[in-house]
Structure 1
Amino acid sequence: MSSPASACLYCQNNDNLHQLMIKITDLDVSQLFLFKEQSYSGRCNLVYNQHGLELFDLNEEQRSAYMGDIAKVGNAINKAFAPSKINYGAYSDTLSHLHMHIVPKYKDGYGFGSVFEMNPQKIYLSDIEYEAVISKIKAHL
């Protein structure tokens, strides 16, 4: 069962969201956020602009635009941080809002070779460090 937009973290754009993520920018059909927990340096979340949809609900044009945004972010993260690999994950059991975790992985870094975890090491940055990460990503969007 789909949760209503009134209960959605992304639609509400409230303190709960801002404690987890920092908005970087709007893209063609989505919003890009930096995850505050940075065990995977440069990890982002790309949130589709409309609530309550599954990937298969998007028409071809919408799906192509969203995948274009995903590719654009992946490319920017790759250029900004040169990870060994980028993982993409669309997990959403309890949150009915299409979003994609874009997770750079580093050969000698945490969790390389396994599925990424939500908040594994509780690594948080200073405001200045967050701004530096965001600036690197924005420079390549």
Structure 2
Amino acid sequence: MTNCVLCKDELKPEEGQLIWRGDDCRIILVNDSDLPGFCRVIWNRHAAEMTDLTYGEREHLMTLVFAVEEAVRHVMHPDKVNIAALGNMVPHIHWHVIPRFKDDAFYPGSAWSSRAQETPKSILESRKQKAQQLPAAIKAAIASLA
């Protein structure tokens, strides 16, 4: 598919940071000022639906999603982790792994809801500092899968 934003290998700094890349998937730490620790697990090859993948590919992808979730829980200590695969705007398989807190801007709605409240800047800054530990934690979680 042409012009798919998730098919491109280049990542602008304002979009986030590439944490890990394998033959089939890559993991991005999304640059989201309201939701520090938000990660995206992206299937490298363009495919719109999970059923476009083989059973083995699906298992591999979900193993990575769960490794990211585990690292996010360990590092960020969220009240909840949201895992979502929507693809309505970008029909390319990708999973969102989002640490959620009762005081985040969108709680209790989804990360794509209207703002419900303002998180104090000091709390957001603390979460941004924690999120800097995610690349190492995610790489370690993936390394432990081997």
Q: TM-score range by the shorter chain?
A: 0.7 to 0.9
Does 2:120 correspond to 1:116? no
> What's the CA shift for 1:28?
6.8
2:54, 2:41 → 1: CA distance? 18
Please show how residues 1-141 of structure 1 align to structure 2 within 5 Å.
4=1, 6-14=2-10, 17-27=12-22, 29-117=24-112, 133-140=131-138, 141=141
CA contact (8 A) 1:24 1:32 kept: yes
C-alpha separation between the residues in 2 aligned to 1:41 and 1:34? 9
- Note the C-alpha offset of 1:12: 2.1
The CA deviation at 1:106 is: 0.9
Which structure has the higher relative contact order (CA within 8 Å, separation 6+)?
1
> Does the 8 Å CA contact 1:34/1:134 hold for their aligned counterparts?
no
Q: Is the 8 A contact 1:27 1:69 kept in 2?
A: no
| Unmatched segments (≥5 aa) in structure 2 | 142-146
C-alpha RMSD of matched pairs (Å):
2.9
Shift of 1:50: 1.2
TM (normalized to structure 1)? 0.77
Q: Deviations over 1:17-39 (max 9, x none)?
A: 54322111125731111111131
Offset at residue 112 of structure 1 (A): 2.2
2:14 match: secondary structure: helix
Task: Tell me which amino acid in the other structure corresponds to 1:54.
Answer: E
| Runs of at least 4 residues off by over 4 Å | 118-121, 129-132
How much has 1:11 moved relative to structure 2?
A: 2.0
User: Shift of the alpha carbon at 1:7?
Assistant: 1.1
- Are residues 14 and 100 of structure 1, via their aligned partners in 2, closer, same or farther at CA, if it must alter by over 3 Å? same
Paired with 1:20 and 1:28, the residues of 2 have a C-alpha distance of 21
Question: Is contact 2:25–2:43 with CA below 8 Å preserved after alignment?
Answer: yes
Amino acid at match of 2:98: V
Structure 1 gaps of 5+ residues are none
